[in-house]
Structure 1
């Protein structure tokens, strides 16, 4: 029984990402956004690596994600007291 609990604990800890791993994943995500949306923002007239260009990249990524993963809001309750959840 102890061995089973020990193996379960090791498995759970192995699935946890360290700060360095999360930072590396975030950097890969940013690099991918720049590779995908950067050329489009340059064609729109933004100078590469400027703050406006970065803003354009973020806006295009946000627009694409919003279209790909739409949200739904569900509310329940009665007038004056609503509980809403957005997914």
Structure 2
């Protein structure tokens, strides 16, 4: 029983992320957005590193994120012997 409790505590401890690790992940996400969407915003006429350019980068990233989420579907099935009901969202 003690070993089980110790394993559970270790799993919870391993799942914790420090503030510095979260900040580093956010920084990597921002750098990825700038790398992916920055050139497109420049082609649209926005000057690099300006507030409208940053807004363009954020809008394009949000648009792609929403499109990916919209295309995602999931199917749930429940039932017992001889009867199943499936729903797709």
Same fold (TM over 0.5): yes
Deviation at 1:15, TM superposition (A): 1.0
Deviation at 1:48, TM superposition (A): 0.4
What TM-score results when the alignment is normalised by the length of structure 1? 0.77
Paired residue for 2:66?
A: 66
Divergent runs of 4+, >3 A: none
What TM-score results when the alignment is normalised by the length of structure 2? 0.75
Q: Distance in 2 between matches of 1:51 and 1:69?
A: 27
Q: Distance in 2 between matches of 1:60 and 1:4?
A: 47
Gaps in structure 1 of 5+ consecutive residues: 72-87
Q: Distance in 2 between matches of 1:10 and 1:63?
A: 39
Q: Distance in 1 between matches of 2:30 and 2:38?
A: 11
Q: Distance in 1 between matches of 2:65 and 2:11?
A: 32
Gaps in structure 2 of 5+ consecutive residues: 72-89
Corresponding pairs, count: 71
Q: Distance in 1 between matches of 2:60 and 2:7?
A: 44
Paired residue for 1:57?
A: 57
Cα RMSD after superposing both structures: 1.2
Q: Distance in 2 between matches of 1:59 and 1:10?
A: 40
- Which stretch shows the higher mean deviation, 8-17 or 41-50? 8-17
Q: Counterparts in 2 of 1:10-21, with a 5 A limit?
A: 10-21=10-21
